[in-house]
Amino acid sequence: QVQLVESGGGSVQAGGSLRLSCAASRYIYSSTSMGWFRQAPGKEREGVASIDSDGSTRYADSVKGRFTISKDNAKNTLYLQMTSLKPEDTAMYYCAADGVRMIWVSYNYWGQGTQVTVSS
């Protein structure tokens, strides 16, 4: 069974920080790319950050300098460290695997999502 399980979401004030985690099965973890995506109510899903199997990372312009994607091979876990959070970062955040960069429609496996709410 293929699974991605996110955790770490919550409510925080603007300027605060959160770290999201995504525990993956070993099979998924060996895929080409993994990424974090988000979707706010009434908006389309958008790419936040992605990391390739060689460790190359990409970020949406809106989060560059504030968010950091990383992975721990030993723990089969993907992370998203979020700092200097803004109210516009409020969304459901999803972990995804087996896709291409931050093209969300290309990803084959998705977690259930974790809510991030940033208050002003």
| Residue owning tokens 């989060």 | 63
Residue 30 has pLDDT above 70, yes or no: no
Residue 63 has pLDDT above 90, yes or no: yes
In 3D, which of 44, 33, 36 has the Cα closest to residue 20?
36
pLDDT at position 29, please? 62
pLDDT at position 76, please? 86
pLDDT at position 103, please? 93
Sheet containing 4-7: which strands, arranged edge to edge? Answer: 4-7, 18-24, 77-82, 67-72
Q: What is the mean pLDDT of residues 65-84?
A: 94
Going by pLDDT thresholds of 50, 70 and 90, the confidence category of residue 1 is low
pLDDT at position 113, please? 97
